[in-house]
Structure 1
Amino acid sequence: MTHATTGPAVGFLYPGYSAEDDYPRIEEMLAAGVRLPLIHTDIGEDAHRVDALLEMGSAARLAAGVQELKSRGAQAVVWACTSASFVFGWEGAREQVRELSETAALPASSTSFAFAHAIQALGAERVAIAATYPEDVAEHFTAFLKAAGAEVVAMRGSGIITAAEVGTWGQEEVLELARAGDHPDAQVVLLPDTALHTAAYLVDLEAQLGKPVLTANQVTVWEGLRLLDRTVSRPNLGTLFTKG
C-alpha cells in the first residue's frame, strides 16, 4: 500500500487500536487538503494504570514510529494520547514533547497540551472533566490542567481500565458520559480519552450540553493544525473549530 506524501500533513502517534478511525473521519470533515497520517505505537499493557501509562509514553515507544511518519510527509507530530502524557506531570510532559520534537526534528506536541491550548483558545477558565479513566488516573489530568491555569470545577471518572473497552462505546454512552460529567459552573466540558470515538458526535454533544465540548481526538487534530500554523473553520467539528 502506498501513501501520499505531498501537501501539508500532521503525523499522529496513536497508542494501540481503539478509536483511530476518528482521524480519517476528521480528515474528511476538515476538507482542507491537510493529510493526517497515523502510526500505531506499541502500548505494552493496555491499562489505565499509572505504571502502565508511564511505560506506554516512554521515549523509546514514541521514537519507534517517527521515521515512518516522516516518510509519509509529516511536517509536525503529535502524541495522540492524553493519559500517557499527563501522568508525567506538567514538566515531565514538556520533556516528553521536547524529546519527541528532537527525535523527529519537527514541531511536536501531545493531546494533554492540546487540551491546555484549546481551553485557552476558547477563552475559558472553568472546566469539567468527564473521564473514562479510574478516578486516580483522572486526578493526574486535573493536576495537569491546574498547572496550565484552568480551574477544574468537577471531575468524574468512570473506572474503565482498558482502552479496548472504551473503543466499543457508541453515541449514547459518549453523550451520557458528557452529561454526567458536566457542571453548571463549567464553561467547557472535556472528554480526555483518545480511545473514545467522538468525531461523529461533536455537534450533538454541544447541543446536549449547551456549551463547548472538547474531546481528545478533536483537540489532537486541532493542535496539529496549530503546529502547522493553519486555521480551519468547521462548525461540524465543534466550537473549537469555529475560531478561525
Structure 2
Amino acid sequence: MTQFQFGVLLPSSNTVVEPDFYSMAVPGVTAHGCRVWIDEVPTEGETNRQQPRTAANETQPAVQRLLTSHPDYLIMGISGPTFRGGVDGNRQWKERMHEYSGGLGIANNAEACQRALNALQVRRIGVLTPYQSSASSDVIRYFNEAGFEVVAHKDLECPSPLAIAQVGEDECRKALLDIDSDEVEAIVQAGTNLSFLKLAAEAERWLNKPVLASNAVTWWMALRDNGIEDKIYGFGRLLSEY
C-alpha cells in the first residue's frame, strides 16, 4: 500500500533521475514525474543565458500538472535553479515553489547537500559538476555562503543538457581523482542528469571519505523530511547510516 507519493519535477532532457530514484525505492513510497521544458541548446552563449528564464516560466505549469496526482511532497529533480543566487537565492526559490504548490515541502539539491554535509560533520569539500564554469560558480557560491570551504572543484563542461547523461564512468572516476586530496573531507556532485549513483558509493571505499551523488542526496532529504527512516544500502554512507 502506498504511504507517500512524491511528485518529481524533471528537465525534459533528463534520463537519469527516474532510474536513480527507482533503484533507491523503499516500500510504500512512489515517485511520479512531470517534465519541465528545457531546450537542447549549447551550454554556452546567449541562448543558454536565456535558459534559466525559460525553465522558470515552465516550472509553475509543471507543478500544477503534478498537483493533479495529489502528491504528499515534491522533489526538484533539477539542480541548477536550487543553487542560483546562493543561499538567499535558494530561499527565494523555495518561497516561489511553496506558493505554486500550496505549501508542499520540496526536496532540492542545494539544501539537501547542505544538510548532508552537516550530518556528516565535514566543512572542507571538493565539488564535481557537469557544467560550464559560468554555471558552476553558482554551486561554489552556495557552498561558500552555507559555511563550507570549497578546496577543489572540477567542471566536466558538457556541451549540452543531454550530453551530461552521456558522460562515462571513466571520465567521472578521473575527475574524482583530480579533485581528491588530503584537504578534501568529502566530495559533492551536482547535476541530476549525470549518472553517478553507483560510482559515488564505490568511490567512498577507495577514497575513504563521503562522496555525495546529487540524486542520492536529494532522495535522502525527501525520505527523512517525511519521517521515512529506512536505511538503503549500496548507495553510500548517507543513505545507509543517516
TM-score bucket of the superposed structures, by smaller chain: 0.7 to 0.9
Q: How does 1:181-196 map to 2 (within 5 A)?
A: 181-196=179-194
SS of 1:190 mapped into structure 2: strand
Change (3 A) 1:33 1:199: farther
2:8–2:31 Cα contact (<8 Å) kept? yes
1:144 aligned partner: 142
1:178–1:191 Cα contact (<8 Å) kept? no
1:112 aligned partner: 110
Change (3 A) 1:99 1:154: same
TM-score under structure 2 normalisation?
0.88
Q: Deviation per CA, 1:33-77, whole angstroms, max 9, x where unpaired?
A: 21121211112354545724532541x321111133233342111
2:83 aligned partner: 86
SS of 2:115 mapped into structure 1: helix
2:195 aligned partner: 197
1:19 aligned partner: 15
How far apart in 2 are the matches of 1:128 and 1:53?
27
How far apart in 1 are the matches of 2:151 and 2:190?
15
Q: Deviation per CA, 1:169-222, whole angstroms, max 9, x where unpaired?
A: 232222222222223211110111111012233321222322111111111211
1:10 aligned partner: 6
1:35 aligned partner: 30
Stretches of structure 2 that go unaligned for 5 or more consecutive residues are none
Q: Percent identity?
A: 21
Change (3 A) 1:89 1:46: farther
SS of 1:84 mapped into structure 2: helix
How far apart in 2 are the matches of 1:41 and 1:62?
6
TM-score under structure 1 normalisation?
0.87
Taking only aligned residues, the RMSD between alpha carbons, in angstroms, comes to 2.2
1:233 aligned partner: 231
Aligned residue among 76, 79, 84 for 2:73: 76
2:132 aligned partner: 134
How far apart in 1 are the matches of 2:72 and 2:174?
37
SS of 1:9 mapped into structure 2: strand
How far apart in 2 are the matches of 1:188 and 1:54?
29
Change (3 A) 1:25 1:87: closer
Stretches of structure 1 that go unaligned for 5 or more consecutive residues are none
Aligned residue among 61, 64, 67 for 1:67: 64
Q: Cα distance, 1:19 vs. partner?
A: 3.3
SS of 1:235 mapped into structure 2: coil
1:53–1:87 Cα contact (<8 Å) kept? no
- Aligned residue pair count: 238
